[in-house]
Amino acid sequence: MHIDLSGRTALVTGSTQGIGLAIATQLGRAGAQVVVNGRKRDRTEAAADEVRAETGAQVLAVAADITTDEGNETLLAAVPELDVLVNNLGIFGPQPALEITDDEWRRYFDTNVLAAVRLIRAYLPGMMERGWGRVQNIASDSAIVIPAEMIHYGMTKTALLAVSRGFAKQAAGTGVTVNSVIAGPTHTGGVEDFVYQLVDKSLPWDEAQREFMRVHRPQSLLQRLIEPDEIANMVAYLASPLASATTGAAVRVDGGYVDSIIP
């Protein structure tokens, strides 16, 4: 299969590092013009330079906090039309369930859900009018296996599954697809420090992550952390014309973490 996104413009929110940066890079490799987004200008421009150097793609850096009205307006002014929207922006962090305040519930929902909804609302009509488009919301295994240590995060990822399905119905029959991608435990920045908090610090990284997965994430069938490029591969496929019959779906790239025989 050949994934060709030539002539398409793709935005990846929260794409200055980790999964978002890997997705932006893979879409660039597929020929898309890529819009890299982050809150800080220096990090956003550095990430854009990295994608440009890696892929040779046209890359636009838009520094904007899309959780705010001002940031949203900045992004929409810079990129009025899109072919591919990947809502990757998200925050997470452990907190005892009974200590999560109303403000924290709202902050997680505003960042992880409403920011995505606003962009879908802004870009989906144009995609539908032109008869082609791809919207993807990056969810998590936490949407299904709610983590006891951060149920507010899990709640937002569950909400994204509903958001994706609902907007897919809105776009029915237009040539636009809307899906969510359920990412499993992934090797991103900061994860190595987290792993070494829980396993023997003298272990080499490959052994340490496998020990972490064996003891702390035993339901994973992959038995190692997922690499960001592996998430990006699925996103690139779903962004392509090859995935034209996949919409309204929650597609798993979770290493078998979710114990289910259906998506």
Indicate which residues carry an active-site annotation: 153
Q: How many Å apart are CA 237 and CA 234, to the nearest integer?
A: 5
- Residue recorded with tokens 């979770």: 254
Choose among 55, 53, 43, 50: nearest CA to 16.
43
Beta carbons of 244 and 173 less than 8 angstroms apart: no
Q: How many Å apart are CA 73 and CA 89, to the nearest integer?
A: 17
Distance separating the N- and C-terminal Cα atoms of the chain: 23
- Residue 135's CB is within 10 A of a number of other CB atoms, namely 28
Q: What phi-psi label fits residue 65: left (phi over 0), alpha (psi between -120 and 50 degrees) or beta?
A: beta
Could you tell me which residues are beta bridge partners of residue 134?
Answer: 84, 177
Q: How many Å apart are CA 168 and CA 248, to the nearest integer?
A: 5
Go through the chain and tell me how many residues it has.
Answer: 263
Identity (one letter) of the amino acid at 42? D
